[in-house]
Amino acid sequence: MKNIIIIVVDAFRIKNLSAFGYEKETDKYLKKIGKESLYFKKHFSNSNSTAPALTSIFTGKLSKKHGIIHQVPYTTDKEFDDFEDNKKFWLPSFLKEKGYDTIAIDWIGLWFKDGFDYYEEKEDKDSQLRRFMKIPKVKRFLLTLPNWAYKFGKKVIKTRASEQFSPTKETMDLAISKIKTAKKPFFLFVHCWDTHFPFPNTKFSPSGKKDSEEIIKKLENNNQKEYIKKRFTDINLESMQDIMDKYDLTIKNIDKEIGRMHKFLKKAKLWEDTIFIVLGDHGTSMGEHNVYFSHSGLYEESIRVPLIMHIPGFEGKEINEMVQNIDIVPTLLEVIGEKTEDELDGKSLIPLIKEGKKIRDKILLVDGLAHNITGVRTETKKLIVAKDKTCHLCKANHHEGTEEYDLVNDPNEQKNIYSGESELMKDLT
């Protein structure tokens, strides 16, 4: 049986990749790997946030079916209960049962640890203080303070909310050392976090430019103003361009590390025995649609992410049909010749890869950072219905009522064309 490696790059924006037209080459190695792999250019997450997206990647099911709709800590007790009740297929446990050595390099823990023989839990090595900071309630309390008190509070606690993110170099070192000692076949899951705001492990020299105050002044919602001030405090930069440049640097670093892994697999003669997957769990927004340095809302910035899949025996090519993260599990099962009794939402990508057969005409989406926002995207249109729409993070409304976009003539989703009815409404209900 083939080894399987899944590398998730957190908050991975296609707009900052040269493979998608960005003017800077941030993704030299990913492009190289993409050439000998299947590079899916129209791949979408099911959600704009980590917990529901990762759960879909490991179950092949949409949020509504696996239960986890909202990002932790906004996940409700009912969602956890639904998840436990519906839990049948779970990729790590399934592979473990089939004889795979299962290894994860991540730190979020929770139910994501299930089924792994080895789960790198940074938490155990953390200081008491940092563990205290990880309690969502403490984080949330700090966020309720005015910015000066937030700054002070962070100094006193001497940590920042995102310091637990593991540097990608360390992550990849550990991943490579684990492959060396793994029994074959192995399943390795690696989560790279450096691309997640505030990009804590990236050395960056600020330009000295300042436009943060101007940006904040233009915001209408007072809660959001306070929140964005705190985001600038977190990153210790005062210019939008600097933040973008720092983000680019994180992509470059991750790209280099994934390139190193690729080289290692080739040298160890494992590449042709390994299904190798790189994808983003969700995207991120850099000011588009009034979303700053987060992934709220169901606009393209938050939900469209790269997917690169190397399957031994398949030549490299670019695929421009729509696919979704729930399709990864059925594809893997087909490649390794296994089946599940469980009813999945995803479809195997093999007919698309082999015969160019279109496998889906719509993408269903749910917002994990607001109470009740759902969406559906087709090749040409997107419909978003926002019922309970307050953003959990900044308390602004990134969506208003019902929105429909013509993605052909308006790919940046600027003009709401919803007229009171939409042919896409039935897909949502």
Q: Which residues bind Zn ion (CB under 5 A)?
A: 10, 50, 281, 296, 391, 393-394
Closest approach of Cβ 394 to Zn ion, in Å? 3
Cα distance from N-terminal residue to C-terminal residue, the chain: 41
**Tokens at residue 305, please?**
């992410």
Closest approach of Cβ 202 to Zn ion, in Å? 17
In the complex with Zn ion, the residue whose CB is nearer, 281 or 300, is 281
Instruction: Tell me the chain's radius of gyration from C-alpha atoms.
Output: 21
Backbone angles phi, psi at 329, to 5 degrees: -60, -50
In the complex with Zn ion, the residue whose CB is nearer, 30 or 53, is 53
Closest approach of Cβ 158 to Zn ion, in Å? 25
Strand partners, 143: none
CA distance 71 to 308: 25
Residue ranges in 236-269 assigned as alpha helix (H): 240-267
DSSP per-residue codes, 83-135: HHHH----HHHHHHHTT-EEEEE-S--GGGGTT-SEEE-GGGGS-HHHHHHHS
Closest approach of Cβ 232 to Zn ion, in Å? 15
Closest approach of Cβ 224 to Zn ion, in Å? 7
In the complex with Zn ion, the residue whose CB is nearer, 115 or 368, is 368
In the complex with Zn ion, the residue whose CB is nearer, 161 or 352, is 161
Q: Which residues of 98-126 are buried (b: 16+ CB within 10 A; e: fewer)?
A: eebbbbbbbbbeebbebbbebbbebeeeb
Closest approach of Cβ 294 to Zn ion, in Å? 6
In the complex with Zn ion, the residue whose CB is nearer, 55 or 239, is 55
Question: Do 282 and 14 touch, CB atoms closer than 8 A?
Answer: no
In the complex with Zn ion, the residue whose CB is nearer, 10 or 255, is 10
Q: What is the DSSP letter of 357?
A: -
Closest approach of Cβ 396 to Zn ion, in Å? 5
In the complex with Zn ion, the residue whose CB is nearer, 100 or 292, is 292
Closest approach of Cβ 143 to Zn ion, in Å? 12
HSE of 425, CA atoms in CB hemisphere, 13 A: 9
In the complex with Zn ion, the residue whose CB is nearer, 3 or 224, is 224
Closest approach of Cβ 53 to Zn ion, in Å? 7
CA distance 121 to 101: 17
In the complex with Zn ion, the residue whose CB is nearer, 285 or 422, is 285
CA distance 38 to 277: 9
In the complex with Zn ion, the residue whose CB is nearer, 10 or 257, is 10
Chain centre distance of CA 78: 23
Closest approach of Cβ 165 to Zn ion, in Å? 11
Question: Do 372 and 391 touch, CB atoms closer than 8 A?
Answer: no
DSSP per-residue codes, 128-178: HHHHHHHSHHHHHHHHHS-HHHHHHHHHHHT--TTTTPPPHHHHHHHHHHH
